[in-house]
Amino acid sequence: MSYETDITRIETIVVELERSEVPLDDALRLFEEGIERLRTASAALVQAEARVRKLIEESDGGFTLADFES
């Protein structure tokens, strides 16, 4: 699930909640989903600094990431 998808979904939820004819149960469920997605999306915002890596293709067709020494 990408950040993009989460944020777009949250935007949809906000629009949905703006509409008055949402039953209260649905409104609460939408709100909870929005908060959950926001939590997922925000997880990437607080992780440690990522390193620079180098893609290496193995002879068996697999891939590994090695640290890149500049």
User: What token pair was written down for 46?
Assistant: 């607080």
Residue 22 contacts other proteins per CB under 8 A: yes
What does the alpha-carbon distance between residue 38 and residue 3 come to, in Å, rounded to a whole number? Answer: 9
DSSP 8-state secondary structure symbol assigned to residue 64: E
Q: How far is the CB of 36 from other proteins (least distance, A)?
A: 11
Q: How many Cβ atoms are within 10 Å of 63's Cβ, its own excluded?
A: 8
- Kindly state the number of chain residues that form the binding site for other proteins, as judged by CB under 8 A: 39
- What does the binding site for other proteins look like in residue numbers (CB under 8 A)? 2-4, 7, 10-11, 13-14, 17-18, 20, 22, 24, 27-28, 31, 34-35, 38, 41-42, 44-55, 57, 61, 63, 65, 68, 70
